[in-house]
Each structure stands twice: as C-alpha cells, then as structure tokens.
C-alpha cells in the first residue's frame, strides 16, 4: 500500500490505485474500440495534465487512430464571455474527423467549454470527451464527457499526470489532499 506523500506545504493520501486505474482505462479503451471502429478517430490530448492518461489509454486503442497534443493558453479577451482559449500546436485539419478530446480532469468545465467551440468551428464529424477524472459537484459549465474513468469528490488530487504547482505528476497512482 502506498504511503502518504508531502508536496510543498500539503499532505496527500493514496486515493485510487494503479490497478484500479489500469482496469478502468482498459474498459474505456474497449468501449472506444467498439464505438470508433472504422472511423479513424483523432485523439486530441490536452497538455500537460493528460499526458500519462493519454499514453495509457492510446496504447490500448487497437483500432486505426491518430493522436495529437495541444496546450491551451487562456487570456482575458474582449469577447462577451471575457475568456479566450488558444490551442498551441493544433495543426491537424479537423473537418470531417471524429475527434476525441483527452483531458485529465473536468473540474468546473471552464477549460473545455472554451476549447470545444474552437474545435466545432472546424466542422468535425463528431466530438466526444474522454476524461480521466471528473468532479460532478464542481461542474459549472455545460460540459459532458462520453467517457469518464472516475467521478471523484470535490477535493484536490495529485499524481498520474496531475500536478501541484509543478510537482507530483510522476506519482504512479492518484493521491488526494489529506
Ligand atoms: P476546469 O477548467 O474544468 O475547471 O479545470 C480543469 C483543469 O484544472 C484541469 O485540466 C487541471 O489542470 C486543473 N485541476 C482541476 N482540478 C484539479 C485537481 O484536483 N488536481 C489537479 N492537480 N489539477 C486540477
Ligand atoms: Mg489540464
């Protein structure tokens, strides 16, 4: 059993084991393999947090599929919403592609609610979200994931790609604030 870990000023305790993570990812990949057979989906993994989840999920996607990575930079714009998200590294043509957005965690849903319209503007054949985690009680925007490995309580988590101030991404399992 993993021990608690201290990162900077905070203590985290083990929350979801590597075995549980692997098993849920296998289930998710199996559903994706079925749902996207013959469709050559394009996975768009959102950096940095999703890179470990994306690698583990994509390894188990056995159908013909492609993956690309984007980094989202948000800044205060002059739109009505006041928020603009730019995708750095998005070079693929999305028109008529089946897109699967890969995210580490949907918290309020703000990030994806800003990013999805950018994808939609390129008229893909379909868009779905595959997220490692979601916090249903924190959700404030209309964002629904077709594939979710774990729904968790509204507390800060760490590890398996998710960081606390740049630390802890390399922890192999998921920890939660003590
Ligand atoms: P949202 O835009 O949905 O509110 O937030 C999504 C982003 O916030 C995630 O991609 C992640 O970077 C960060 N985030 C939200 N909750 C957590 C958490 O519990 N732990 C960590 N490490 N990051 C989180
Ligand atoms: Mg993120």
pLDDT score, position 79:
47
Q: Give me the active site residues, please.
A: 107
Q: pLDDT, tens digit, for every residue of 48-105?
A: 999 999 999 999 999 999 999 999 876 654 444 546 577 788 888 999 999 999 999 9
Q: Which ligand is nearest to the CA of 50?
A: 2
The runs of H, that is alpha helices, within the chain are 18-35, 51-59, 110-120
* Closest by Cα among 123, 52, 45 to 89: 45
24-31 long-range Cβ contacts below 8 angstroms, 24+ apart: 24/149, 24/150, 25/53, 25/56, 25/57, 25/60, 25/149, 26/60, 28/57, 28/130, 28/147, 28/149, 29/57, 29/60, 29/61, 29/62, 30/60, 31/147
Q: Is the pTM of this model over 0.85?
A: yes
157 Cα to the center of ligand 2, angstroms = 12
What's the average model confidence in pLDDT over 12-40?
98
Closest residue CA from atom 11 of ligand 1: 105
Q: Which ligand is nearest to the CA of 45?
A: 2
Pocket test for ligand 1, best of 85, 105, 175 (most atoms within 8 A of CB): 105
Pocket test for ligand 1, best of 5, 47, 49, 54 (most atoms within 8 A of CB): 49
106 Cα to the center of ligand 1, angstroms = 6
pLDDT score, position 78:
47
pLDDT score, position 87:
78
* Closest by Cα among 91, 108, 105 to 158: 105
107 Cα to the center of ligand 1, angstroms = 5
CATH number belonging to domain 5-168: 3.40.50.2020
Task: Say yes or no: CB of residue 129 within 6 Å of ligand 1.
Answer: no
The token pair that represents 21 in the structure block: 């993570």
83 Cα to the center of ligand 2, angstroms = 16
Task: Say yes or no: CB of residue 108 within 6 Å of ligand 1.
Answer: yes
């Amino acid at each position: 059993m993993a021990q608690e870990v201290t990162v900077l000023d905070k203590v985290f305790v083990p929350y979801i084991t590597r075995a549980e993570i692997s098993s849920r990812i296998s289930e998710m990949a199996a559903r994706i393999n079925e749902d996207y057979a013959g469709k050559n989906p394009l996975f768009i993994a959102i950096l940095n947090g999703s890179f470990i989840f994306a690698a583990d999920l994509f390894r188990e996607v056995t159908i013909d599929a492609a993956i690309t990575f984007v980094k989202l930079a948000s800044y205060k714009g002059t739109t009505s919403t006041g928020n603009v998200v730019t995708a750095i590294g998005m070079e693929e043509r999305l028109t008529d592609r089946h897109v699967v957005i890969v995210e580490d965690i949907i918290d309020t849903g703000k990030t994806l609610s800003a990013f999805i319209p950018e994808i939609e503007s390129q008229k893909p054949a379909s868009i779905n979200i595959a997220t490692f985690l979601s916090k249903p009680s924190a959700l404030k925007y209309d964002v629904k994931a077709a594939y979710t490995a774990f729904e968790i309580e509204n507390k800060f988590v760490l590890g398996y790609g998710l960081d606390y101030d740049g630390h802890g991404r390399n922890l192999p399992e998921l920890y939660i604030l003590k």
